[in-house]
A and B are shown apart, each in its own frame.
Chain A
Amino acid sequence: MIEMRDLSKTFTVRVKAGRLRREKRTIAAVDGVSLSIGRGEMVGYIGPNGAGKSTTLKMLTGVLTPTSGEVSVCGLRPVPQRTALALRIGVVFGQRSQLWWDLPLRDSFRLLRAVYRVPAAEHEARLRRCCELLDLDGFLDIPVRQLSLGQRMRGELTAALLHGPEVLFLDEPTIGLDVVSKQAVRSFLGELGRTGDVTLVLTTHDLADIERLCHRLVVIDHGRVVHDGTIEQLHARYGSRRRLVADLDSPLPPGFVLPGATMTGTEADGHRVTFTLESITAGAAVAALVTAAQVRDLSVVEPDIEDVVARLYTDGRSAEGRSAEG
């Protein structure tokens, strides 16, 4: 459904290099990205600010012309066939609006029906379904400029789906939303993804979006793909481990070793211990622990994706620092 081969985009910026002198500098926003996304996939596309996420999305939607490389979406070349592609994709830019600011939401939807040339019955059916899932009925007749961010975003999602797109590009759709609105957007997208009809590419800074929605995760940094795989593969690659936290009546005997695990923390004079599980299951670790001490409470903590991704970003920055120094 989406193919990118060695896709690059460079921008030329002028920077001050003296009192009057300005120097041209070329910045690679996207640097040789190759990806293949199949029909019905839900892909999370993440990276730190300025990593090249939005630039990639803009090249995929035909808004920006790639500097080099090849790209095809729904079998079409996005820039030369932008109008044809627009009929087959839906786009939500979290920080932009595709709705008509001065008109009620309902009028924006009606206009989009005319713009995308959707038959009335299909439009009505899709709108009804979106109203049901996103709870739009209460604000359909309010001008877009008077909607809250959460309401507007639900309107934006509906607007992107009314023409039945094959691919949905979402650029930070939950940015700035409160917990309830985020939840509504996520469950809606989850529902959409379950049908397998729509291919979904989602960029976000909120990793909870990815964890709940996307099986596949692509991490981009400095314009390059640094990870492409499942969240589990990311954990495995960066050595993320589950942790066992135990509250004890008395500290563990001196020299206690839990085979296949490493003690990574002790608190409260040894009354709380944390083990990172490496080659031992949680069950076996618990069994070994209760034979060594009186256990009051136990919890198994899943690896945190935010920590892994933060490490990934930090590694990228240190690598960049090293290469700049070298």
Chain B
Amino acid sequence: MDALDASVPTISPGRPFRASVTTFRALMGSGFRRYATYRQATVAGTFTNIVFGFLRCYVLLAVAAGTVGATAGGYDARQLATFVWVGQGLLNVVGLWGWVDLSERIRTGDIVADLVRPVSPVIAYLAADLGRGGHALLTRVGPPVLVGALFFPLATPSRWLTAPLFAVSVLLAVVGSFGCRYLVNATAYWLGDARGPLVFWTLGSGVLAGLYFPLRLLPDWLAVTLWVATPLPGLLQTPLDVLVERDPPALQVGLVALQAVWAVIMLALAGWVQRRAERRLVVQGG
């Protein structure tokens, strides 16, 4: 066993930042590959997104058609259709629902394996989640947008700023959504099982992130309160508003900045909760 010596080497001695980037990238790759394994699930999920896309699109277009000037919440028909079809794809990129990895590992006690690694669980799960988001971006956005474009007229961005701002906004939405999901899952540290909070999250996030209907349909005071006081509009509504150019450029930049603030807050909160949880941790199951 001469090769199994007891030294502690590093990939880039003296370059900790570079080594951290390598580790983060590898973990991102693992998230990507993990989801790439389940091709049939990807196809089934995409099909479901398309079916619900039709439902949502017809309802919102009907709402718009019944208004003066055929606009609803400040969106015209093209913007609404784009909002729905891109939203159906983005839903998976953001990963609003279905992420129970952390709570399951806490419930079964497998979390112990994460805690004996030299990487913080928040960072490790964030990297893997960005990989998951990358996989969803490549596989889950195209089909609903394509189907939407075949059946409805969609809006195309007219400002140069829109594309880079949308890219940044999507990235921040994934990070913000990860922070929220991590916190919901982490309740399992205290409750033993996060199923209750997860049901609450599924119901709440769908409404308050702008999935079921654009939040601009709500009274202004409520929409503004949601934007400022919660991270939820930043998870879906903001990137979609940026893409359909719902607001002037300055306001859009402001909304993305707000999204960034919330993403940072949620990540910091996730890190704090994780540290608190570790102090009172009881590993379940011996």
Contacts and interface: CB of A to CB of B under 8 A. Distances in A.
A86 B118 contact: yes
Given A58-B283, A63-B112, A115 B26 contact: yes
B6 A129 contact: no
B9 A129 contact: no
Given A82-B115, A96-B112, A128 B3 contact: yes
Contact of A164 (B7, B110, B112, B115): B7
A292 B199 CA distance: 82
Nearest to B8: A87
A133 B278 CA distance: 36
Interface string B2-13: 111111111110
The DSSP consensus for interface residues of chain A is mixed
Interface stretch (A192-200, A210-218, A257-265, A279-287): A192-200
Bin chain B's interface residue count.
35 or more
B150 interface: no
B23 A64 contact: no
B147 interface: no
B279 interface: yes
Interface string A85-103: 0111101010111101011
Interface string B23-53: 1011101100110011000000000000000
Nearest to B118: A86
A199 to B, nearest CB: 9
Interface residues of A, number: 55
B115 A110 contact: no
B120 interface: yes
Interface in A117-168: 117-119, 122, 125-126, 128-130, 133, 143, 161, 163-166
Contacts of A84: 118
B11 A102 contact: no
A111 B118 contact: no
Interface in B262-283: 278-279, 281-283
A169 to B, nearest CB: 9
A103 B27 contact: no
A290 interface: no
Given A54-B286, A164-B8, A115 B34 contact: no
A238 interface: no
A87 B283 CA distance: 21
A34 interface: no
Contacts of B285: 95
Given A63-B116, A82-B115, A96-B110, A111 B30 contact: yes
Given A54-B286, A96-B113, A115-B23, A164 B9 contact: yes
A89 B116 contact: yes
Interface string A183-222: 0000000011011011000000000000000000000000
Nearest to B22: A114
A8 interface: no
B159 interface: no
Contacts of B33: 102-103, 107
B27 A61 contact: no
A117 B27 contact: no
B26 A166 contact: no
Given A64-B281, A95-B286, A115 B119 contact: yes
A65 interface: yes
B283 A111 contact: no
A144 to B, nearest CB: 11
B37 A143 contact: yes
A256 interface: no
23 contacts: A62-B116, A63-B281, A82-B116, A88-B8, A91-B116, A95-B286, A96-B109, A96-B113, A98-B117, A102-B33, A102-B37, A107-B30, A110-B26, A114-B22, A114-B25, A114-B27, A116-B118, A117-B9, A118-B9, A125-B3, A143-B37, A192-B4, A198-B4
The 3 lowest CB-CB distance pairs between A and B, nearest first, are A114-B26, A86-B118, A98-B113
Given A114-B11, A143-B37, 4 more contacts: A82-B115, A103-B37, A116-B118, A198-B4
